[in-house]
Structure 1
Amino acid sequence: MTAVETPELDAALAAAEARCARQGATLTPLRRQVLRLVLEAGQPVGAYTLLERLKERRGPAAPPTVYRALDFLLEQGLIHRLERLNAFLPCIGPEEEPCGHGCGHDHPHQFLICTRCGATAEIADHDVAHALTAAADRLGFRPSRATVEVEGICARCA
């Protein structure tokens, strides 16, 4: 994943704002700034790194400030949380709806994470999602959400 550059960054933020408006939510200046920091990172980024970058641009800020903004961005389908890395990455394309699927987080998502360089790629393979759902059904389990994180070595590092 690479950092989003301007004018792509401006387009991604505009798409995020439009998505929030359609959902009846408000992308406040603080939420917008946190999303901008996630987009600029170019790789999964942790909350405390975001807090430090926010302080550089905005002055004093406390962890709850960033966590509330991240919770909002997750709820709106604008970012993903990688559990294994305890980090966040964008779920929005510059001239598209989030993830380019037009459905926020309502699409299957899996992540490939390079253990050498940290590069992360999101894929949305419906076959993987269907296989997980079928396996859960066989056990009588009803998943509410599923995120698959696969660790390995990327092509660049191989």
Structure 2
Amino acid sequence: MPHGDHHHPAADQSGALREAEEACLRRGAQLTPLRRRVLEMVLEAGQPVGAYALLDRLRAERPGAAPPTVYRALDFLLAQGLIHRIERLNAFIPCTEAAHGHDHEHPHQFLICRNCGRTAELSDDSVAAAVAAAARAAGFSPARATVEVEGTCEACAAAA
């Protein structure tokens, strides 16, 4: 069952920001105003959002913002487990598991609707274990894996 649906704006953005600040403090990391603003923009997007879309929004507030500004903030947010990168879309979404008290190394899988772009995050240990077992059976020593499944969401299937 999906833990997060990133199609609609976050219901409690201020709560998510507060949790992000607390998580950073516990880890000795600093959620600077710029990093916080980039996180806010990812939360506000309500769907996977690309770095250049974030840069365009940031430039409206900070005209001198350049790509490295956004990429450094995104790298920090990724390292802290506050967001995830959806490789298939080259975009970013908030981590819904952070709100459930999971650390930032939790297993995660994503369901991506090819029609509407809705993206749901799963955290299914059995999927992670199956991927790790298959990798080991092939003589590969896995460090981590992200599974991205493309298909049709329930709403789009019902509308078809």
State the number of aligned residues: 151
Shift of 1:59: 2.7
Shift of 1:142: 1.4
2:153, 2:96 → 1: CA distance? 22
Corresponding letter in the other structure for 1:4? A
Following TM superposition, where does structure 1 have runs of at least 4 consecutive aligned residues deviating by more than 3 angstroms? Answer: none
Shift of 1:143: 1.3
Corresponding letter in the other structure for 1:55? R
For 1:19-38, list aligned pairs within 5 A. Answer: 19-38=23-42
Shift of 1:104: 2.9
TM-score by length of 2: 0.90
For CA contacts below 8 A with separation 6 or more, give which structure has more relative contact order: 2
Partner deviation per Cα, 1:42-86 (whole Å, 9 max, x = no partner)? 000000000011112233200000000000000000000000100
Q: Is the 8 A contact 1:46 1:88 kept in 2?
A: yes
TM-score by length of 1: 0.91
State the percentage of identical aligned residues: 64
2:131, 2:87 → 1: CA distance? 18
RMSD value, Cα? 1.2
SS at structure 2 position matched to 1:105: coil
Unaligned runs of 5+ in 1: none
For 1:1-158, list aligned pairs within 5 A. Answer: 1=6, 2-5=8-11, 8-92=12-96, 98-100=98-100, 102-158=101-157
Unaligned runs of 5+ in 2: 1-5
Shift of 1:99: 4.5
- Choose between structure 1 and 2: higher helix proportion: 2
